[in-house]
Amino acid sequence: MYIKPVRPKNVSDQVYEQLRDLIFRGKLAPGKKLPPERDLAEAFGISSPSVKTAINKLVNQGLVTQHQGRGTFVCFPGDPLPGKPASAGP
């Protein structure tokens, strides 16, 4: 049979998808600061480590950037990924 068993989605993946969709729809605009992880955890009704995992995934995708002591911010389109140089124009 071609049916695969379904597994419940990981909580951090669900948070990642919601935040990603808010960014793509413009509800979280470039430059906007995300609420602190503990506030997000409370709003989602989950643990802070799950939110941290979701935010790390957003960072790795280049959708948000974290600044020590300042918070997490939505990236502007075309921002270079952390650790990668900006592409040089012609």
Instruction: Specify burial of residue 9 (Cβ count, 10 A radius: 0-12, 13-18, 19+).
Output: exposed
The reported pTM is 0.78
Three-state DSSP at 71 gives: strand
- Euclidean distance between CA atoms 46 and 66, whole angstroms: 21
pLDDT, averaged across the chain: 86
Greater pLDDT, 9 or 72: 72
Where are the strands (E) in 9-75, listed by range?
Answer: 64-67, 71-74
Instruction: Give yes or no for residue 43 having a pLDDT over 90.
Output: yes
Report CA 80 to chain centroid distance, whole Å: 16
CATH number for the domain running over 11-74: 1.10.10.10
Structure tokens at 37: 């992880």
Question: What percent of the chain stands above pLDDT 90?
Answer: 73
Question: Cα separation of 42 and 5, whole Å?
Answer: 31
- Report the pLDDT value the prediction gives residue 86, as an integer from 0 to 100: 44
Q: What is the pLDDT of residues 56-75, one digit of tens each?
A: 999 999 999 999 999 999 99
pLDDT over threshold 60, residue 25: yes
Whether 22 shows a pLDDT value over 60: the answer reads: yes
Residue 18 confidence class, pLDDT cut points 50, 70, 90: very high
